[in-house]
Structure 1
Amino acid sequence: MGTVTLGVSIAVPEPYGSLLQERRAGFGDPVAHCIPTHVTLVPPTVVDRSALPAVEAHLREVAAVGLPFPVRLSGTGTFRPVTPVVFVRVVEGASACTRLQEWIRSGSGPLVRELQYPYHPHVTVAHAIDDPAMDRAHEELAAFEASWTCGSFSLYEQGGDGVWRQLSEYAFGSGIGSVPAQGSPVDEPQHLEPRSPAEPASTS
């Protein structure tokens, strides 16, 4: 059946997602329109296509024990000179993203893998383009701000054309504050954090 390249991420909702995608394209990043604006949870990972049902079941289980949490983006950062990336910083919700990606990559699941670098939640706005354009991205988005309630995450597959397409979206168990579809109003932040898969839901 061959293999598929999968990724798991949190979508950046409208109007911020399209705005950052267009800015990324404007900086000259050739893959800007191939990648929906996102916070990565699991980077590109090659698995057997036959494992896809197990991956989807695992993600449903992780989502079922999660709760919505607030996310706030503010300003820019860079991984240069280690990697040629400029990003918008996740200044609220980073710890929740970190826990979520740990659950997804847990040793008992089908997406277990080691990371090349320590996990650092961020939103890429320029990657592997010339230094002046990277500098411009860093400077021009330094005042960028966005916030929303993260209520879900998504599984994506990279096609043969290099475009990442959503396969499924997984809402957290409470069903509160799911990430808006493109063109939808942005949810107001709610101060909730996801709970551990081993921690039962509150009955209050």
Structure 2
Amino acid sequence: MKKIFTILSLSFITFASAQTNAFKGADFDNFADFTASLNKYGLKDYARQGVGEGINSSGDLKIIGNPAGNDYIFTAKATETLPAKIKEITFMLKGSAAKSLSVNVYKTDGTFYKFNLGDVRKDMTVQDSETNSYTGTIFTKDKFVKITLDCSKLTDINTNAASNFFAVKVGKGADYNLDIDDVKVIAGN
């Protein structure tokens, strides 16, 4: 029995160490850590901390508004120690929006991969695209769904803490009422 417990414990430790916050404050519980991770443009004024609105009544990022432009809600630098190879980036999403989200994952040269969520109703995996797009709507029936960005074939993701790593964008002229929580990086092999 002791051997089984030890094997299970080691398996849990291996799994737990294979994922990390994507940037400091990526669980939005310590909002000062999150805002300190942002680039010079900061956070849009229609986004704030959702106290008790996240997973298990934790903090999250609350987005409520009708943006006049295709806005960057935020751009975070790589302020956590990230793995050399990233398999996936995941986050939890809840709410509704008349247009979808586009997520940028930055490359070492400062350009970025674009992940367009499209229609969001349930857990989903998203591949990178050629351009940013906000086509689609979000409606999760007031439940968190898991969004997985497939990074398994991407080889030049920025992990330098001084540079941009992850950004969330919204489309103009659409109502957004969303919660984002637990942005995580899953290590690759």
Structure (1 or 2) with the greater helix fraction: 1
The TM-score range, normalised by the shorter chain, is under 0.3
- TM-score between the two structures when normalised by the length of structure 2: 0.26
Task: Please identify which structure carries the higher strand content.
Answer: 2
TM-score under structure 1 length normalisation: 0.24
